[in-house]
A and B are shown apart, each in its own frame.
Chain A
Amino acid sequence: MNKPIGKPVARTEFTQGERRWQADFDASPGAAGRVANRSGIEIKPLYTPQDWSGERYLEALGFPGEYPNTRGIYPSMHRGRSWTQRQLIGLGVPEDYNARLKELLAHGATAVSLIPCNSVFRGYDADEVPEELLGTCGTVVNTVDDMERALADIPLDKISCALNDPSPFTLLALVLAVAKRRGIAWTKITGTSNQSDCISHYVANHMFFRLALQGARRVLTDHIAFCNAQVPGWNPLSVVGQHMQQAGATPAEAMAFTLASAIQYAEDCQARGMDPDVFLPRVTFFFDISVSFFEEVAKFRAARRLWARIARERFGARDPKAWRFKFHAQSSGVDLTRQQPLNNIARVAVQAMAGIFGGLQSLHTDSYDEVVSVPTAEAARIAVATQNILREEAHLTDVIDPLGGSYYVETLTDQMQEKIEAIIARIDAAGGMYAAVGQGLVQRMIGDSAFAFQQRVERGEDTVVGVNAYQTEEDPNAYTVLEYPARERIAAQLIRLRAYKAQRSNGAATKALDALARAAQGTENVMARIVDATEAGATHGEICACLRRELGFGQPLAVV
């Protein structure tokens, strides 16, 4: 590698050239300022073979699909198969969701996702909560009948389904119950339990945090074991860096916390006697993509390499599938601005590019109006179109890992890796993620980073167009916002829930919930009992209530 500068004469020429450039650079106006990325890594104005020489290519990078997977987890990456276009959607009642879903599929989305109503996230049925909040931020789904309506005409055996479904995974149970009704074998069901990462909910974006941390931990391990055995095409664990980065963690911190959490979950599976070559291939990740373009690309490349090493060396996985760092990513909502909201379309495009060059497997692009309201249909369409433009017009996918080999990107990838490893070491020293979050260590680091970021924006050190620079006068009423679901539809949904409860066999539902409670008290796998309970007519809220009683109610640590 680098033969030209390896020769004595060429090296002299290189040094002379570098000195010449440095002198010219130093003389240029405005060149002196220090630049650092969000993770605190100082960025030089120029990178050369002095920074990254390409030596140890095979060891550090290798070929796509080969250990350590730095250049991608599959041999053909996006050249062979596009990433999955997975837009998060959820609104109103099941029929509203079903209509929006069909619309998105018609516009090019290739997978299903389901965001339930916030009341569902917190573990309640529609009849347990203030009516004002029903369906305003996700779909109200409480029963098998609701799920049947939400997924009407969607071929469950052909399309991958991502559920925003924290422990105790009632939505998956409802999907499995619907599959059974439709005569579809569970072995044909594919998709992911997003929001299965209970640590991330304890630390940040607590709305998914239903059960006490140790209770959620136990149900998660049960869930992984259950899915590995019964629903082998399902990814039961998605470890989430997104919440922590959205909450203010730097990209390096968010990645380190995520990998540290994944280590704990894998340790729990191993402690149960599960085989890393079986459970690790079904582990996926979910990340935020900020607008800090090169930093994000480097973050993903570094993590891919690190995870391959962790899976192989720390957990002893032998199957190359177990080393693959499969991830879904979402453009960062925190980077979007309410000021001049159409600018967000440009931000989302840059974020999406960083994720694509970072080698993602699945992508959600935010709608530009997310900062104003729950996305409108038009804004959601533009978000999908952005992905189509990047792939099919801009040809970003013609070359695998196209930024690989850049002196800058490779240097930054190494530096991000060092930073991530240092934070993981700190978590390990604290006794692992469960111990670190119990002490508030992670929460404080995130809070400090969020505060520091906000101060940089307020001091004008970090530019946010329309917020602290290039401001314009704006009419706040200029943009259409999504209407909340009509109250009559919500009222009808409540009537439906009451009718469902009246028509089912209460004896069967109660019996199934009792069996669930006993499983939770003992060591039996609770996930099988949760599916049984949905089939016996128990609702989402009843299952959550049962497990709250048995395993404790989720309360995060309040740290300021």
Chain B
Amino acid sequence: MAEQRPPKIIVTKIGFDGHDRGSRVVAAYLRDAGMEVVYTPPWQEIAAVVKLATEEDADVIGVSSLATDHLLVPKLMAALRAAALDDVQVIVGGIVPPKDERVLIEAGVAQVFHPGASLEAIADSVRALSATRRAQLEGSI
């Protein structure tokens, strides 16, 4: 059997915030953990993230938000659906008030990580979500 391709994740920031400590640390950790990481600078347009997800065939998109940019994530989810990328799993990390977390989950976000979340927990989640996505894709063929 061919060796399983490692999970592939886009680590990005949408909106205006520029605090990138979290996204850099998480990206470095996931890369060191053997995953394929596509890292973008902050301020990505939603359309650009969707395009990147298509081109890269990413399993997971990780959005880091420290200053209310998570409010744009429902738009990202809609754009992914419109591009027929429902299978791509989205996780959000950063400062997300509980009420907003519920909105994000309802919009289809798989998981929200808050300050203090461990890197290993994030890595485990990305592995599991990546497996979920690949199982979905295989099931749909």
Contacts and interface: CB of A to CB of B under 8 A. Distances in A.
B47 interface: no
Nearest to B21: A247
Select the residue from A130, A248, A334 with max chain B CB neighbours within 10 A. A130
B139 interface: no
A371 interface: yes
Given A118-B16, A246-B19, A477 B68 contact: no
A248 B26 CA distance: 13
A464 B115 CA distance: 12
Interface in B17-60: 17-21, 24-25, 27-29, 31, 37, 39-43
A133 B31 contact: no
Given A372-B95, A451-B28, A560 B39 contact: yes
A118 B97 contact: no
A451 B18 contact: no
B21 A450 contact: yes
Interface stretch (B69-77, B81-89, B129-137): B69-77
Instruction: Decide if the interface of chain A is mainly helix, strand, loop or mixed.
Output: loop
Contacts of A555: 41
A464 B16 contact: no
Given A130-B75, A247-B21, A338 B16 contact: no
Given A248-B21, A447-B24, A481-B97, A458 B68 contact: no
Contacts of A133: 15-16, 68-69, 71-72
A321 interface: no
B28 A458 contact: no
A560 B21 contact: no
Contacts of A29: none
Contacts of A129: 16
Contacts of A122: 16, 43
A450 B25 contact: yes
A132 B24 CA distance: 25
B116 A337 contact: yes
Interface in A227-282: 246-248
A248 B22 CA distance: 10
A556 B24 CA distance: 13
A560 B115 contact: no
Contact of B97 (A209, A372, A558): A372
A205 interface: yes
Interface string A199-233: 00100111111000000000000000000000000
B124 interface: no
B41 A476 contact: no
A205 B18 contact: yes
Interface in B91-115: 95, 97-99, 101, 114-115
A458 B119 contact: yes
A373 interface: yes
A558 B40 contact: yes
Nearest to B16: A118
B67 interface: yes
B54 to A, nearest CB: 20
A334 B16 CA distance: 19
Contacts of A476: 98, 101
A22 interface: no
A200 to B, nearest CB: 11
B118 to A, nearest CB: 6
A206 B97 contact: no
A374 interface: yes
Interface in A457-494: 458, 464, 466-467, 476-477, 481, 484
A338 B116 contact: yes
Contacts of A2: none
A209 B65 CA distance: 17
A111 to B, nearest CB: 23
A373 B21 contact: no
Contacts of B20: 204-206, 247
Nearest to B120: A458
Contacts of A559: 24
Contact of B25 (A204, A374, A451, A481): A451
Nearest to B23: A560
Given A118-B15, A458-B120, A556-B41, A248 B25 contact: yes
B18 A206 contact: yes
14 contacts: A118-B69, A122-B43, A129-B16, A133-B68, A207-B18, A337-B116, A447-B24, A447-B28, A450-B21, A451-B25, A458-B119, A476-B101, A484-B71, A559-B24
Across the A-B interface, give the 4 residue pairs with the lowest CB-CB distance, nearest first: A207-B18, A206-B18, A118-B16, A136-B68
Interface of B: 15-21, 24-25, 27-29, 31, 37, 39-43, 67-69, 71-72, 75, 95, 97-99, 101, 114-116, 118-120
Given A450-B21, A458-B120, 9 more contacts: A121-B16, A132-B72, A137-B17, A247-B19, A248-B25, A334-B21, A373-B97, A451-B25, A454-B25
